[in-house]
Structure 1
Amino acid sequence: MTDVDAGERYRAPALDKGLDILELLAETEEGLSQAEIAKALERTPNEIYRMLDRLVRRSYVVRTQADRYELTLKIFVLAHRHAPMRRLVSHALPVLRRFAREAEQAAHLVVFDRGALVVVAQVDPPGYWSLAIRTGSHIGLNNTGSGHVFLAFATPDERRLMQEEHDPMPNEMPPDDLGDILERVRRDGYEIHDSQQISAVQNLSVPIFGPLGGVIAVLTCPFLHRLDTSEALDADAVLNILLAAATEISAASGGTKT
């Protein structure tokens, strides 16, 4: 039996139809109507309707107010679990350790996974003090520097899906000016903001970009102002080192900024 014969023997028409729709929508920026999808795939609108309904119900596709269909963030989330995540951490850890030595500050790497912000890597500075978040910890989406960076670089539909999937942490309250914060983060390319959890801490947070141009992780330094030495770097100097570290990790991950 040839490869072609085997492929035809094990065909799954419904699955093929769904994958055709996902691949078509992945190539469009403004979404498509049901009629446009049917025409592009050379199928009738009735054939497409039931499949679109299932994809919307499973959150792979969203139906907009203009009655058009677009991809959600769900495929992106699925694509960055497990093995790819291990590769990201393996690329990031040497860079994080170098950052900690140069900046004399702690740092942690955060990903968005199934509605939660999860710390997947963390390093301490070489000295005898630091402020660290344990690997595996879940943190807030609306009230942390890491969360603000994820939200700032997401499209409106991606942001809506992230909020829908997110189970807020206890006492997780977004700041009143969250919209202004997100605009500033996207414009500047980073967040520098007083922590909403710990007094006298500034969160320095920068994005890690993936191959498709989206943010796949956020690198955050809980910056502490040192009083025991006159040679300590200030927040701006540490931010520059953090930005360079993020650029290096993005490059190692094949990342490009949209």
Structure 2
Amino acid sequence: MSSSSAGVEPGGKGPEYAVPALDKALDILEVLAGRLEGMSQVEIAAAVERSPSQIFRVLTTLERRGYLFRERQTGLYSLSLRLFDLAHRQEPLRALTAAALAPMRRLSDETGQSCNLSVLDVDRVRVVAQAESPADFGFRVRVGATFSVEETATGAVLRAFAGGGGAGGAAGAAGGDEGVLESIRERGFLERADAVRGSITDVVFPVLGASGGAAAALTVPYVATSYSAVPAERVREAASRAAAEISAGLGL
């Protein structure tokens, strides 16, 4: 292989293969993913530090393949749901959501509260499914939203039960942090005020996979108001049953 087709990564770790067109496409997708409104070709080019002519063919290809949607009147580009669709084709995620949706719906109907299902996504907690409250008032979390692993109750449960929920289940934990995770494992769940909205109490149970480790976490963001006809104790019981039912659906 000629030296012109491959470089070397900093530090000499190995070859770095440059694919300019792919880099441009990924840069464009990442920029648009962080925007609520559409962007023009000129705006996208500025954001990815390239000229409009350099990204024209990439934009055209992404639109043709269904990853981008272009508004005909304004010419603004937005992300389509194509990436969302691809993510949900992944077999583990399909199996998880398939096992979870019916129990989650029953949980919401029984408690009058919304609930959501989250997984670890590298170093973040990502919401992959949700059942909205049937009541007139409730709290919902957007599917696809990500949150801190360290600062959320959901992240704490996922960490506590990672790898089977034993002493080695909290990889990377140390000192007092390991003590907190051990306490969660002993109780089997976590209930505490939401890190962002103190008026909400997060009730979180692990969803265990066939290996015995946490495949996901089931969270009820409990809203204690006059609209809450079901007390917190019954919400805990219902959430525990739903998590066990989802775990059974995964083959535990």
TM over 0.5: yes
Aligned to 1:105: 113
4+ runs deviating over 4 angstroms: 155-158
Contact preservation (8 Å) 2:170, 2:178: no
Local SS of the residue matching 1:219? strand
3-state secondary structure, aligned to 1:142: coil
- Whole-angstrom distance in 2 between the partners of 1:178 and 1:233: 33
Percent of paired sites with the same residue: 30
Q: State the Cα distance separating 1:140 from its structure 2 match.
A: 1.1
- Aligned residue among 145, 148, 155 for 2:153: 145
CA RMSD of aligned residues (A): 2.5
Distance, in Å, in 1 between the alignment partners of 2:237 and 2:179 is 23
Gaps of at least 5 residues in structure 2 are: 1-12, 14-88
CA distance in 2, matches of 1:91, 1:183: 28
Q: How has the CA–CA distance of structure 1 residues 237 and 177 changed in structure 2, closer, same or farther, with 3 Å as cutoff? A: farther
**Cα distance in structure 1, aligned partners of 2:206 and 2:161:** 8
1:203 maps to amino acid: D
Cα distance between partner residues in 2 of 1:178 and 1:234: 30
Name the counterpart of 1:208. Answer: 207
1:84 corresponds in structure 2 to 92
CA distance in 2, matches of 1:210, 1:219: 13
**Structure 1 residue aligned with 2:250:** 253
What amino acid is aligned across from residue 251 of structure 2 in structure 1?
G
| 1:47-75 CA distance string (max 9 Å, x none) | xxxxxxx9xxxxxxxxxxxxxxxxxxxxx
- Equivalent residue letter for 1:95: P
Q: Following TM superposition, by how much is the alpha carbon of 1:157 offset from its aligned partner in structure 2, in angstroms?
A: 6.1
Call closer, same or farther: CA 1:177–1:226 in 2, change over 3 Å. Answer: farther
Give secondary structure in 2 for the equivalent of 1:97. Answer: helix
CA distance in 2, matches of 1:202, 1:228: 15
Which of 136, 142, 149 pairs up with 1:134?
142
Deviation of 1:160 (Å): 3.8
Query: In terms of mean alpha carbon deviation, does 242-251 or 136-145 score higher?
Result: 136-145
| Alignment partners' CA distance in 2, 1:251 and 1:98 | 16
Deviation at 1:90, TM superposition (A): 1.2
Shift of 1:153: 1.6
> In 2, Cα distance between the equivalents of 1:91 and 1:228?
29
Aligned residues: 162
Q: Please list the CA deviations of residues 132-165 of structure 1 after superposition, one character each: whole Å capped at 9, or x if unmatched.
A: 110000011011111111111235766446x8xx
For residue 236 of structure 1, the aligned residue among 233, 236, 247 is: 233
Distance 1:136 1:210 in 2: 21
Q: Cα 1:120–1:228, aligned 2, differ >3 Å: closer, same or farther?
A: closer
How far has the Cα of 1:234 moved from its partner? 1.4
Gaps of 5+ in 1: 1-53, 55-80, 164-175
Aligned residue in 2 for 1:188? 187
Partner amino acid for 1:220? T
Q: Distance in 2 between matches of 1:160 and 1:148?
A: 12
Cα distance change on mapping 1:204 and 1:177 into 2, 3 Å: farther
Structure 1 position 114, deviation (Å) = 2.6
